[in-house]
Amino acid sequence: MKQIFSLVLLVIMGVMLWSLIPLGQPTEPGEVAEHYIRHGIEENRGANLVTSVIVNYRGFDTLGEVTVLFLSVAGAGFVLRRREGLAPLTARPSSEILQTGARMLFAPLIVFGAYIFVHGHLSPGGGFQGGAVVASAVMLLLLADRDHRLPHGFMSWLESAAGFGYVLTGLAGLMVAGSFLSNQGVLPLGTWNRLFSGGVIPVIYILVGLKVGTELSVLLETMMNSGRPADTTGGEH
């Protein structure tokens, strides 16, 4: 009975989705996107239009998104906060080679992540991708050394400071140009296709990168280390 019901539901969904197939023609940018493409460089000086859209034109949306990510991490920490009944993650200790290798790779990976989010306005990449790379570096460290503890005070300080900086940058736009997160007149826009260009765009994307990196690191640490005996770190951040 349940199988038949599922099958009927899937067939209906398939028919509905199949009606989207004729839309698979090459599309031209709409009116708004046309404006972004034509005036993106003169308004923001950022070469990467996706970054301009995410950080500037739809910066408020990104602020909400970073908040959603924070809430989901806090929610996961809250769900896994109590230790009773939770099976800890067991693994045999890793070898000396793995531990040394992970420690050596940690710094280059962090630098690579920072490179990705510093150059977000020039090339593909940005705060979210760079943050993910930073979090994977932290993950490598946690996997290699099971007794490693993250500096929770520093992480939560960095995370809050990045979020606060984002809002402050937005408020600076409100003061100077009259609209939240505006890019006009807050910082010099600079020259197109240079590292120091784009006004507040690199500043915000670096803050987003720091915030996403710390949030994802804490999330991975919560998933791995909550429920360990004599553990006071699980979820308390």
Partner 1 sequence: MIYLDLLICLVTVLAAVGAMRSRNLVSAAVMVGAVSLMVSYLFVRMSAPDVAMTEAAIGAGLSTLIFLIAIRRTGEDEG
Partner 2 sequence: MNTLTPATLYLATAIALILIGFAGLLVRRNILKMVLGFALVDTGIHLLIATLGSNPGKAAPILDSAELAADPGLVVDPVPQALVLTAIVIGLGVTALMLAYVVRLFALKKTLDVSEFGRLKW
Rule CB under 8 A: which residues touch partner 1? 48, 50-51, 87-89, 116, 124-126, 128-129, 132-133, 135-136, 139, 216, 219-220, 223-224, 227
In angstroms, give the least distance from the CB of 206 to partner 2.
16
| Beta-carbon contacts of residue 221 (< 8 Å; ≥ 6 apart) | 138, 142, 150, 233
Residue 197 φ/ψ, nearest 5 degrees:
-150, 170
- 235, 222 Cβ separation under 8 angstroms: yes
Give the residue with the Cβ less far from partner 2, 10 or 111.
10
Burial of 52 (0-12, 13-18, 19+ CB in 10 A): buried
Among 192, 203, 228, 233, binds partner 2 (CB under 8 A): 192
- 142, 220 Cβ separation under 8 angstroms: yes
56 binding partner 2? (CB under 8 A): no
Judged by CB under 8 A, which stretch of 60-68, 104-112, 148-156, 182-190 contacts partner 2?
60-68
Judged by CB under 8 A, which stretch of 66-74, 105-113, 157-165, 168-176 contacts partner 2?
66-74
Give the residue with the Cβ less far from partner 2, 180 or 192.
192
Residue 226: what residue type?
Answer: S
User: Using N-to-C axis directions, what is the helix angle for 201-225 and 127-144, rounded to 10°?
Assistant: 30
Q: 227: part of which helix (H) or strand (E)? A: none
10 binding partner 2? (CB under 8 A): yes
Q: Per-residue contact track with partner 2, 107 to 136, x per CB under 8 A?
A: ---------------xxx---x--------
Give the residue with the Cβ less far from partner 2, 2 or 97.
2
